Structure 1
Amino acid sequence: MLKKNTFILTILFCCISLIQIPLQAQKATARVSIDKHEISIGQQATISLQVIAPKGRQIAFPVYPDSLVNGIEVLGMPKPDTTFAHEVMTITQKYVITSFDSALYHIPFIPVIDGKDTIKSNDFGLKVSTPPLSEATNAYLEHLKANPNDSIIFDKLAVNDIKPVQVPDFVWQDYLVYILGALLILLLIAAIIIGIYIYKKKKEKGYYFKPQIIEPPHVIALHALDHVKVEKLWQQGREKEYYTEITDILRKYIEDRYHVNAFEKTSDEILAIANNFMLADSSSDSLRQILKLADLVKFAKYKPFPDENDLSLVNAYLFINQTKLEVPVTEVVNEIPEKVVHDNNEPETPIDWTISDDDMLDEHKNK
C-alpha cells in the first residue's frame, strides 16, 4: 500500500514539473505590421510592433530619435497599449513614419529587449513613390534634358504640392506679444493726449485741476436756513424738529466762525461766550431769543405761537448776517486808532476778545 502511494505521488510531481517547464521556457515573440506598404513622398504610415510575453516580463521597445533606417523618418512614438489575458500580456507599440526619398525600403527586423535577451521581429518592406507627372510636365522635362542651358519656367513644369498648405488653428496665446504691444502703444498715446490737455489747461486757467471751492461759514448757514424755511416743519406741527435744526445750524456756524465748541455747550454757556464777539446788542438779543425759546420747546414741551416761530427764523438770518466775516477790502488802513471816540467825546471801553482754552477747538489751541 505504501509503495502504491509513493508511486502515485511521483507521477503527480512529474506532471507538475512538465507543466511548469514550458511556462518557464516560454519566450516573448515580436511581430511587425504596417498599415500602408506603399506611400507617396511626404505621406505618413504607421508601423505596429506587437509583443506577446508572459505577464510580468520587462519589455523595452527601441526608441528612434530621427530615422528608422536611412531614408525613413520617425515622426512620433505614441504610448504603448497593453492588454492581459490568461497570464499573458500583449503590448503594441506604434511608430509614425514618413519618407521624402522615392525607393523600395526593406527593414529586416526591429529589435525588442526581453529582460536580458533581445528578440527580433519579422521583416517588412515599404515602397515610396513619386507622385505621377502629367504628360505636359514629362514633355517639358524632356525639353530641359535636350536643352540644359534653358532656364526653368515653373509654370510649364506644373509641379504642385502633394497637399495644400494647411492653416493652423487660432490660438490667442500666440498673439499675446502683439496684443500687449498694442495695449502699451494705446496707453502711451492716451498718456500723451492727457499730458497735452493738462498742459493747455494749466496754461489757460493757471491750474491743472479745478480747485475745491470752500464756502465760508455764513454762506453754508444761510443755505441751511433756506432749506429749513422750505421744509415748513412748524406748519406741520413739528416744532421740536424745527427748533432743533435752527439751533444746530447756529451752533455749527458759531463753531466754524469763532472756533468754539458750541455743540458741547449749553445755551447759557454759548450766550456767555458769544457776548465777547458781539458788537451789536441786537445780535445777542437775536441769539438769546432763539436759544431760550428752543430750550422751552425741546425740554418743556412749550407750544410757541406762529409769530414766535417766524421770529426765530428771522432772528437766525439776522444773527448770521450781523456776525458774518465779510471779504476783506483791497485798501489797507495804515493806522488803526487806539480809541474810538463817540459824539459825547467819551472813549469806548475795549472789548475783551480773549477765549478760555476750554472753549476753543482742539485744532486752534496753542497757535
Structure 2
Amino acid sequence: MGYTFHGFAQDTPAIQSEVDTTFIKIGDQLKFKITVEVDSTDMVIFPEGQTFSPLETVEAFATDTTRKKDRITLLKTYALTQFDSGSYKLPAQRIEINGKGYFTDSLRINVATVPVDTTVQKMYDIKPLIQVEKINSGWWKVLIIVLGILAVVAGLLYWFVFRPKPLTEEEKVAQLPPYDRALLELKKLDNSKYLIQDEYKQYYSELTDIVRSYLDEDANISALESTTDELIDKLEMLKDAGELELDKDTINQFKNILKTADLVKFAKSKPPTNIALQDRKIVEQIVVKTHEAIPEPTLEELMAQEAFKEELAKKRQKKKWMIAGGAAIGAVVISAIVVINYFGAAQVWDTVTGNPTKALLDNEWVASSYGYPPISMETPEVLVRQKVEIPAEAKANIKELQSFMFNDEKSLLTIAATSTTFTQPAEPEFEKTIEQLLKSFEAKGAKNIITKQEEFVTISGVKGMKTYGSGKFKIPDSEELVKANYAILSFGGKGFQQQVLLTWQDEDTYAEEIINRVLSTIEVKTEV
C-alpha cells in the first residue's frame, strides 16, 4: 500500500492520500483514497473527470463525511484501472480548499499482463481490415411501411378479385346450358306456392319468362322484348324458312298460353288451377320440342362460340388485372403519402436516391479511442490509421505521431484525429499546426478561407481551442469549387498535443448533424 501525507497545524487542512495496491493486472481496479481534515466552515473541492490519466477513472464514489467538534474529515474514493501493461505514474491531484490549491504526491502503479497458455490456445496474427458494405439503417422503416401497405392491398385483391370463389346457387344455375336451366326453373315453379296462395299473375309471369328466356338464348329469337303476336310471327317465319322444325299445333298451344298469361297479367283473369298446371306441362313440351327442332351447330359455329368464350374470358382476366393495377398504383401513392408525411419529402427522396451523408448519419455509430494520449469520440465509421511520415527536421522534436481519419470525397466530409507526443515536455504550439492544416487546404485548391477562434469545452470539462470557418473547397477530380466548413479542435499539455479535424459541405443538413454529434462526444486525456 502506498500513501502520502501532509500534516499542518490544527487550524490548517490535513490531507492524506493512499492506494489499496500499487500492483494490478490489466483491467483490474485499484482504490485511490483522499482524506481531508478541515474546519467545518471550509469549502473543499475534490478532483473531477479524467484527471488521473494515464489511469482511467471507473467511478468516483460519494464523499464520506465524519464530524468531530468543529472539524470534519472528508473521505473521497476513486476506482481506477488501466488496460495496457506497464509502469504508470498516478499524477498528483489538486484539492481546492477555500480557493487555494493543495496537491497530493504522485504514485507509481504497475500493471501486469494476464498470462496466456499458448499450448492450449494458439495465437494468430491480427486479421487485416476489410471493407464491409454498410446498410442504410433508416431504409428499413420506409420499407416496412410500404411492404405493409402493399401486403394489405395484395391480400384484399386476392380475396375479392383473384381468389376462386364458391359459386352461389344462382351462379350455378346461370352457368347451365339454356335448355337445362329452363327445365330446372320449371321444376322450381312446380314447388312454388303461387297457385296455393292465389298468385296467378306471378305464376304466369315466371312461366312465360322461362320459355321466352330459353327461346332468346337457345333459338336466337328476340323473345323477351316481343309482344305475344310478334313472338308467334317470328316462330312461324322460322318454321316456314326451315330454320326451326316446330309443328303447327305446338305453335298454337304456345300462342294460347301466351294469351292466357296476358289476360292474367293485364285483365286480372283467373283460370282454373288444372288449366294453369296443364299450361305448365305444355310449356315444358314446347321447350323440349324447340330444343329438338334446333339444328345442330356447324363446326364453324362451334368454333365461333369457343372463340367468343375465350375472348370473354380474356376480357374478364384483363378486367381483373386492371383492377389489380389500379389498386397497386393506389397503394404506392398511399404509401408515398404516408411515408412523406411521416419522414418528410426531402428525407424520403434522399433515402431513395441514396444520399451519402444521410446514409452515414443513419449508420450504426462507433464509439472508440484513437492514439495516445487517447482521443475518444463517436463516428459513423471507424477512423482508419494513416501512415504519416515525420519530416526529418521535426524528428528531433516529435517522439510519435498517430493519425486516424475517415474521408468521403464526394460529400467533402472528413473526420480525423491526431495525437502527437514530443521528445521534450514543452507546451504544444497550436498556431503552427493550425497554419499547416490551413496551408494543406490551399494546396488542395481551397480558396477564400475564413478563420475564427473560440474556446471549446468537452463534457468532462477539458478546455481546448476551436479554430473554425468556411471557404471554397475543391471537389476531387473536378475544377468545381463549393462552399464548405471546417473545424479544428486543439488540446494538449506539456509533451503532447491532440487535434481533431472536421470538414463538411455547406448547407448539407445531414453532414451538419454528423458534425454536431461528433463534437458532442469528443473527450481527451489531458496528461501523458
The two structures have a TM-score, normalised by structure 1, of 0.38
**Higher percent of residues as helix:** 1
Work out which of the two has the higher radius of gyration on C-alpha atoms and give 1 or 2: 1
